[in-house]
Structure 1
Amino acid sequence: MELSIKHSNISPSLTLAISAKAKKMQEDGINVISFSVGEPDFNTPENIRNKAIDVIKNNNIGYTAVSGIPALKEAICNKLKVDNDLIYNPKEIIVSNGAKHSLYNIFQAICNPEDEVIISTPYWVSYPELVKMAGAKPILIDCSEDNDFKYNIDDLRKNITNKTKAIILTSPSNPTGSVYTLEELKEIAELAVENNIIVVSDEIYEKLIYDNQNHISIASLNEKIKELTIVVNGLSKCCAMTGWRIGYTASNERIATIMSNLQSHATSNPNTIAQYAAIEALEGDQSEIEYMRNEFDKRRIKMVELINAIPNISCNTPKGAFYVMVNISKLIGKKLGTYNIKDSMDFANYLLENSYVAVVPGVAFGNDNYIRLSYATSQENIIEGLNRIKQTLSNI
């Protein structure tokens, strides 16, 4: 029996695989320090948790409208207006089961066989697979560390064909922490409008931004690019609500209708309790969110300082999110003790087995010369973990 050819070629998430291996070692009593996790290590703010408890006790928590309850859509529209200078109406908002589900809906809604979707490398691990699941082809553009892992406009232009349906734009970025400037966004917007290409703007880390940088949504530049942009956002990263599974999109109504129809058959509505809690997350007290951002900022500075003090590895200073891409190219082909480092997976496994430190190999993000570290962990773990890595690399 031949099963789905299209879906048989989908690769599993290496980020989840490394996390699972680290957790198994921890369960076996090994003191593993994990830099692999992609979620805040803070609890969901108390006011959001209390809202959920209140809803459970006092509200009807049955099915809702497929694309989200009206009050949440209104709260999202207000957030987009205040934070991003974007005007949308509730019909243009689709609330889904997390931002990953939103992205799945997007590519299913816009892609046809043979369509091409441009993705910058290093990329978030699921982008190419989500595109392939929609029957389209991911087109990868290698973005250099010298350009802070962002698109070079000339390279972007060279990769546009008559099959190009969309460009994925991630700012702030997972895995690199890079943030696009206004001038860079203007260049990309002009190119997209000129070629009638959709921009999928992943803005899930917009609240986690540092060094007095400002988050700018490409959709806010003018009406032409807004019509072509699908804004993707959610509450998992900025509000420490990873398990609540609330993501959303803002797009033109034609695209939103297709996504709503698709979701009506795939999952129906997102979790009802989480939707009500999401209103509180958007409209309630924001002080805990700002506290988290400040703590991440301190950890970012410490992690970058310690990494760049270790011989043979280095990193840029990320401007957003909570990740650092570490350049390990000097170690590829070297020996650590009796261990041959042929690629980033070898290096990640070596660190986990010998230093009890979990990192994510760069091959998961399309670049084998790097590993990704997350600073969504305590200062103590950052110091201890990087000291272990430094000690391990003294064996080179």
Structure 2
Amino acid sequence: MKPLSNYLPHFTESIIRRMTRIANDCGAINLSQGFPDFDPPDELKNALIEAANEGPHQYEVTWGSKLFRDALAAKQSKFMGVSINPDTEIVVTCGSTEAMMVAMMTICNPNDKVIVFSPFYENYVADTILSGAEPIYVSLTPPNFNFDKEALVQAFEQNPKAIILCNPANPTGKVFTLEELQFIADLAKKHDTYVITDEVYEHIVFSPYKHEYFASIPEMFERTISCGSLSKTYSITGWRLGYIIAPAFIIQEARKIHDFLTVGAAAPLQRAALAGLNLPDAYYDTLQHKYQEKRDLFLKGLDDAGLTYTIPQGGYYVMVDISEFTDKSDIEFCEWMAREVGVAAVPGSSFFREDVHHFIRFHFAKNNETLIAALERLKTLREKAKSSF
């Protein structure tokens, strides 16, 4: 038979989702795949019941219901500091995963180049390859995961079509400073490069850090494709509601790609999600404090377990250094830890272009009781590792 697609050998299945399956199989506490074990706000749950009873149950407008786009534009205009037209500058997608894929397919031609910071969320490289493009990697250096300016300049000199910017970053928790963003913006203007942002953790940023929206930088809205999601902000990862915000000339083309990929996001979930988009500003303050508490609880537990980690500035992930335990594969280590310690993490090598195998990623978007239980198990890690590696 004829061979399958030539793209397939260039990336693997999601290691993150694989670790969830392993966690489920062996009963480990799942701190690998980043979804909470607590419910969304009552306002959303009640709105979902109402939508189930009253609809809509048929297709909405392909690029998102009018009510949803209006509410999203109002919220994001306020937080982003730019005026967003809900009729021409938004397309609603099936999660930010589709948003990123639509953005890439809208911008890229075969053999175009795209800058990707490493470490990176694993989808970015697959998105680039599936778009027919070629990634250019620029390293982020631990523990603060800053980039070398000269290395970024050299990457831009290769005439990239786009750069992908995750801020706050997954998996590192890095929050890019305004000075760093302005440096990227200046290079994007100089080399006529699009900027695709992934800002799903926009409301989970820890003091004293502050999230700066790239599209709000002067002269940047016109070349920025802002990808976002309701998943993390409202704890509704299973609803799969994402979006792209961009200038009208980009959105009118992105809607074509979106239409033929998925037709549209779920109509009743868009209606129910209005309850989240219309929450008062106090909700986002409470969310930040909630995750600040969880981060501090989890980092103290890692300290008590004697583990070495990098401090996240935003998002809900922690990179832990396992070099003291083994020089073997981090994939093998994570599989062993899920079975023998009862806690699942993601092997860090799945995020790095470089030959890095001594990091694993935990997430702390869990009830405090779940986190405490996981930390108790991690206290046994060192002793169990001694007898196994």
Q: 1:332, CA displacement in angstroms?
A: 4.3
| Aligned-partner residue type, residue 150 of structure 2 | D
d(CA) in 1 for partners of 2:70, 2:63:
12
SS at match of 1:230: strand
**Once the two structures are superposed, what CA deviation does each residue of 1:154-205 show, in whole Å capped at 9, x if it has no partner?**
2111112444111111111111111011111111111111111111111100
SS at match of 2:256: helix
Match of 2:339 in 1: 353
**Mean alpha-carbon deviation: is it higher for 204-213 or for 375-384?**
375-384
Pairwise mapping of residues 190-229 of structure 1 onto structure 2 (< 5 A)? Answer: 190-222=186-218, 224-229=219-224
d(CA) in 1 for partners of 2:158, 2:342:
48
Match of 2:3 in 1: 2
Match of 2:12 in 1: 11
Q: 1:211, CA displacement in angstroms?
A: 1.5
Match of 1:152 in 2: 148
Match of 1:338 in 2: none
2:92 to 63, 76, 95: 95
SS at match of 1:174: coil
**Mean alpha-carbon deviation: is it higher for 378-387 or for 112-121?**
378-387
**Mean alpha-carbon deviation: is it higher for 105-114 or for 46-55?**
46-55
Asked if 1 retains the 8 angstrom alpha-carbon contact of 2:215 and 2:221, the reply is yes
Distance 1:58 1:357, change over 3 A: closer
Pairwise mapping of residues 1-396 of structure 1 onto structure 2 (< 5 A)? Answer: 1-26=2-27, 32-90=28-86, 91-146=88-143, 148-222=144-218, 224-285=219-280, 290-311=285-306, 313-333=307-327, 342-366=328-352, 367-377=356-366, 378=368, 379-393=371-385, 395=387
Asked if 2 retains the 8 angstrom alpha-carbon contact of 1:322 and 1:375, the reply is yes
Q: 1:285, CA displacement in angstroms?
A: 4.8
Q: In percent, how many aligned pairs have the same letter?
A: 28
Q: Cα RMSD over matched residues?
A: 1.9
d(CA) in 2 for partners of 1:83, 1:383:
35
Q: 1:262, CA displacement in angstroms?
A: 1.3
| Aligned-partner residue type, residue 239 of structure 2 | W
Asked if 2 retains the 8 angstrom alpha-carbon contact of 1:47 and 1:285, the reply is no
| Aligned-partner residue type, residue 351 of structure 1 | M
Asked if 2 retains the 8 angstrom alpha-carbon contact of 1:375 and 1:382, the reply is no
| Aligned-partner residue type, residue 341 of structure 2 | S
d(CA) in 1 for partners of 2:336, 2:187:
43
d(CA) in 2 for partners of 1:200, 1:332:
37
List runs of 5+ in structure 1 lacking aligned partners: 27-31, 334-341
Q: TM-score, normalised by structure 1?
A: 0.91
d(CA) in 2 for partners of 1:202, 1:135:
20
d(CA) in 2 for partners of 1:47, 1:136:
42
d(CA) in 1 for partners of 2:342, 2:117:
31
d(CA) in 1 for partners of 2:188, 2:325:
39
Q: 1:290, CA displacement in angstroms?
A: 4.5
**Mean alpha-carbon deviation: is it higher for 137-146 or for 228-237?**
137-146
List runs of 5+ in structure 2 lacking aligned partners: none
Q: 1:19, CA displacement in angstroms?
A: 0.8
d(CA) in 2 for partners of 1:52, 1:118:
39
**Once the two structures are superposed, what CA deviation does each residue of 1:268-319 show, in whole Å capped at 9, x if it has no partner?**
11100111122211113566655443332222113223334555x4112111
d(CA) in 2 for partners of 1:214, 1:112:
35
SS at match of 1:159: helix
SS at match of 2:380: helix
Distance 1:285 1:85, change over 3 A: closer
Q: TM-score, normalised by structure 2?
A: 0.92
d(CA) in 1 for partners of 2:357, 2:184:
27
d(CA) in 2 for partners of 1:387, 1:304:
13
Distance 1:101 1:182, change over 3 A: same
d(CA) in 2 for partners of 1:156, 1:135:
22
Asked if 1 retains the 8 angstrom alpha-carbon contact of 2:348 and 2:360, the reply is yes
Distance 1:292 1:85, change over 3 A: closer
